[in-house]
Chains A and B, each alone.
Chain A
Amino acid sequence: MLIKKPVDIPYSEVTPKALYIRRREFIQAAAAGAIGGAVGLSPLAVERLTAQGRAKLPNVRKSPLSTSETANSYEDATGYNNFYEFGTDKEDPKANAQRFNPKPWTIKVEGLVKNPATIDLDTLIKPYALEERIYRMRCVEGWSMVIPWVGFPLADLIKRLEPQESAKFVEFTTLLDPSRMPGQRYPVLQWPYLEGLRMDEAMNPLTLMVVGLYGETLPNQNGAPIRLVIPWKYGFKGIKSIVRMRFTDKQPRGSWEVAQAREYGFYANVNPNVDHPRWSQATERRLGEFRRRKTEMFNGYGAQVASLYAGMDLRKFY
Chain B
Amino acid sequence: MELLQPSSVDDLDGGLFLHGGTEVVPLVRDGILSGERLVDVRGLVPRGVHDGTIGAGTTLAELEVEPAIPDALREACRLAASPQLRNMGSLGGNLLQSTRCWYWRLKYPCRLHGGDRCFAREGEHREHAIFANDFCASAHPSDVAAALLALNARVHTTQRELALFELYRVPDEGDRDVVRLQPGELILELEVPTPDASVYLKAMDRKKWSFPQVGVAAARFGGETRIALAGVAPIPWLLDSPAALDAATPLPRTEWKTPLARALVQRALAALQ
- Please determine whether chains A and B interact with each other in the same assembly: no
